[in-house]
Chain A
Amino acid sequence: EIVLTQSPGTLSLSPGERATLFCRASQSVSSSYLAWYQQKPGQAPRLLIYGASNRATGIADRFSGSGSGTDFTLTITRLEAEDFAVYYCQQYGSSPQTFGQGTRVEIK
């Protein structure tokens, strides 16, 4: 099973700042089958990025994903008020598909 470790656990930033979230896999994720989700309190997760770098339908271009192999990054270029949430990475390259433990982006 591929274990995904997200860092940092919590990111404290101000609106307008840049957020960089990391997801490290215990072994290589095949074909960059990695996704990122945003989850706000009381809501279901929302798909942001699939295939490591492809924005999902309707996702703002301030969200971008990059990386390959074992190291992946989600970048939010200019944080807006609605971006403060928990973010999860998911690998779907091999069985079982797994999620990271999450990074909380909070208002500083």
Chain B
Amino acid sequence: EVQLLESGGGLVQPGGSLRLSCAASGFTFNSYAMSWVRQAPGKGLEWVSTISASGALTYYADSVKGRFTISRDSPKSTLYLRMNSLRAEDTALYYCAKLHPTYHYDSSGYYGAFDVWGQGTLVPVSS
């Protein structure tokens, strides 16, 4: 069964840091680009970051650029999101998601529909 399982969320103070993890199983992890997508409470979906299958290329939304770092460990089939300088507006449920095999890419990023999602991990940022 194809599965993504996030962990690492929790209450953090403004200015603090957190690292999210996403364990993948049931598919060849190192063959697919992966992303993080977040959803603020009661709000819609926002793309956060994408990493290429090799891990060599990374892309970020302007709202998190310079503060968040996406990475992957292929032997462990695990995706990560390091979040620094957290703000109240980063409060959200963070999902990891796998890009559909029909994804495409250009010099600005990797793009695709998200065909597998984790259950999400909640990151409240509050003092």
Contacts and interface: CB of A to CB of B under 8 A. Distances in A.
Interface of A: 31, 33, 35, 37, 43-47, 50-51, 56-57, 88, 90, 92-102
17 contacts: A33-B111, A37-B114, A44-B117, A44-B120, A45-B117, A47-B113, A50-B115, A51-B113, A56-B113, A92-B111, A95-B108, A95-B109, A96-B62, A98-B47, A99-B46, A99-B47, A101-B44
A12 B40 CA distance: 25
Chain A interface mostly helix, strand, loop or mixed? loop
Contacts of B115: 47, 50, 56-57
A91 to B, nearest CB: 9
Nearest to B93: A44
A90 B113 contact: yes
A75 B100 CA distance: 22
